Amino acid sequence: MKQKMDISSNNNTTPKLPGLDLMPLKAAPQPLNLPPGPLSPWLRLAHILRTEPAESMEVARKRRILDFELVLQCEGTAWIWVEEAGGSFDVGPGSIVFIPPDFIHAWANTTGTHIAVHFDLHFQPEIKAFLNLRMLGNLRMLDEFVTRQPAELIPSFSLGQNTGSGLVLPLVTPLHQPHLMREKLEKLVQIYQTQAQFDFPAQLIANEVLCGALTAIAGEAASSGFAASNQPETEQHILALLAELAVSNQSHYTSADLAEKCGMSQTTFRQAFYKVTGRNPHQYFEQLRIERAAQLLLQTERSINSIARAEGYDDPYHFSRVFKRVMGASPYRFRQKGYSPDFQQEEP
């Protein structure tokens, strides 16, 4: 069962636990829609928990949470039961679990150590630690327990802002270098232990760690093929092309040249390029050339005609017209007033 959740606030297997031969299949990513506007990650709760064999959990209580949670299994094992999957998934050492808000699940420690971090992607300090844990129905802990049993389809989520290009985050992701993730999450534990969430340096660290963790998980998912079906191959070729051109001094390619580099027809190339960048190739490279010219105007003493020629504009008057249309001011005025705090763009 797949449902759309609006949260306005490798390998193909998960590691196995003893006695369970679990090889879950990949479910299509479930969209998680963030509200529009800039992100403002907020750390709410972070702790390290050690579970001894005698404390191993055979049953677990259902819950849903009001925020996001990352759980890194450092050593030992755990399992997570998922309502929509009708069963559980094993969490082995070196795996990280991504749990979104309002996702009905149950968490059970078996043995070992894990780090759990609760956070928002938009600032909500009014929700206090532990009040973010909501048992089914309300804040009271209800006696709805589940047992460990293998499920077939492991959930994944596409986290974004309705732009069609979200991060694909599986429920459980085995990491290639879990020690790096552990070092980062331990910083959040230290911030929470010292109650420094409101301190400016701590907020910078939390933002860096939380955003980096999400992109790292998405990267692991993509490299393992988990997210391969989420993005058409043509769009992957366009992204690779843009990465190549970003470090290239050549910006005077024709659409035909670029389509050939990507192994596409010109029509397919233009359609894929527009879907990825929101602009056609001519508009994109015009913007790129003019932005390069703007940097040269501000950072060098080269003549305007020399800069125009360097960016492929042999006619300085044509360059000036294009520059004014893109940047809102002529090259001369842009250079003259670019550093002035009271600079106002000219009318187009």
| Lowest mean pLDDT across 31-45, 94-108, 163-177, 241-255 | 241-255
Q: How confident is the model at residue 131 (pLDDT cuts 50, 70, 90)?
A: confident
Residues 269 and 127 in one domain: no
Length of the chain: 348
Q: Report how far residue 179's alpha carbon sits from residue 269's, in angstroms, rounded to the nearest whole number.
A: 41
The reply to whether 57 and 185 lie within a common domain is yes
Q: What is the pLDDT of residue 58?
A: 92
**Amino acid 125: pLDDT:** 86
Instruction: Tell me the torsion sign for CA atoms 115, 118, 121, 125.
Output: negative
> Do both 66 and 116 map to the same domain?
yes
Tokens, residue 120: 């928002």
For residues 161 and 268, give the distance between their C-alpha atoms in angstroms, rounded to a whole number.
26
Higher pLDDT, 169 or 278: 169
CB atoms closer than 10 angstroms to residue 207: 16
Any idea which residue has 């849903």 for tokens? 64
The 8-class DSSP code of residue 245 comes to H
**Final residue in a domain of this structure, among 199, 230, 261:** 230
Determine the average pLDDT of the residues in 84-101: 95
* Domain count along the chain: 2
Classified as helix, coil or strand, 101 is coil
pLDDT at residue number 23: 46
Residue 140's pLDDT is 45
On whether both 193 and 83 belong to a single domain, the answer is yes
257 and 130 fall within a common domain: no
Per-residue confidence (pLDDT) for residue 222, from 0 to 100? 80
Q: Which residue has the higher pLDDT, 60 or 341?
A: 60
Range of the domain at 313: 233-337
Are 188 and 323 found together in one domain? no
Q: How many CB atoms lie within 10 A of CB 119?
A: 23
Structure-block tokens of residue 286: 């015009």
Compute the distance between CA of residue 109 and CA of residue 87 in angstroms, rounded to an integer: 16
**CATH label of the domain that carries residue 263:** 1.10.10.60
Q: How would residue 139 be classed by pLDDT, with cut points 50, 70 and 90?
A: very low
- pLDDT exceeds 50 at position 6: no
Q: What is the pLDDT of residue 248?
A: 65
- Measured CA to CA in angstroms, residue 322 lies from 73, 279, 327, 348 at distances of 55, 16, 8, 11
Helix (H, G, I), strand (E, B) or coil at 145: strand
Q: What is the DSSP letter of 161?
A: S
Residue 98 and residue 31 share a domain? yes
Where are the strands (E) in the chain, listed by range?
Answer: 5-6, 25-26, 30-33, 42-51, 59-61, 63-65, 68-82, 87-91, 95-99, 105-120, 133-135, 145-147, 153-154, 156-160, 167-170, 172-174
Higher-scoring residue by pLDDT: 255, 100: 100
Which of 230, 251, 285 is the last residue before a domain boundary?
A: 230
Confidence grade of residue 148 (pLDDT, cut at 50, 70, 90): very high
- Tell me the pLDDT band of 129, cut-offs 50, 70 and 90: confident
DSSP annotation of 9: -
Q: Are residues 179 and 46 in the same domain?
A: yes
89 and 216 fall within a common domain: yes
pLDDT (tens digit per residue) in 53-73: 999 999 999 998 999 999 999
Does residue 185 belong to any structural domain of this protein? yes
**Final residue before a domain boundary, out of 180, 199, 230:** 230
Average pLDDT, the chain: 83
* 348 is a domain residue: no
- The pLDDT tens digits for 156-214 are 999 987 655 688 999 999 999 999 999 999 999 999 999 888 899 999 999 999 999 99
Q: Report the pLDDT value the prediction gives residue 238, as an integer from 0 to 100.
A: 86
Task: Convert the pLDDT of each residue in 279-317 to its tens digit.
Answer: 888 888 888 889 889 989 988 999 999 999 988 899 999
- pLDDT, one tens digit per residue, over 8-57 is 433 334 344 443 344 456 778 899 989 888 889 999 999 999 999 999 99
Residues in contact with 149: Cβ distance below 8 Å, sequence separation at least 6, in sequence order: 81, 87, 88
Mean pLDDT of 250-256: 73
Q: Does the reported pTM lie above 0.75?
A: no
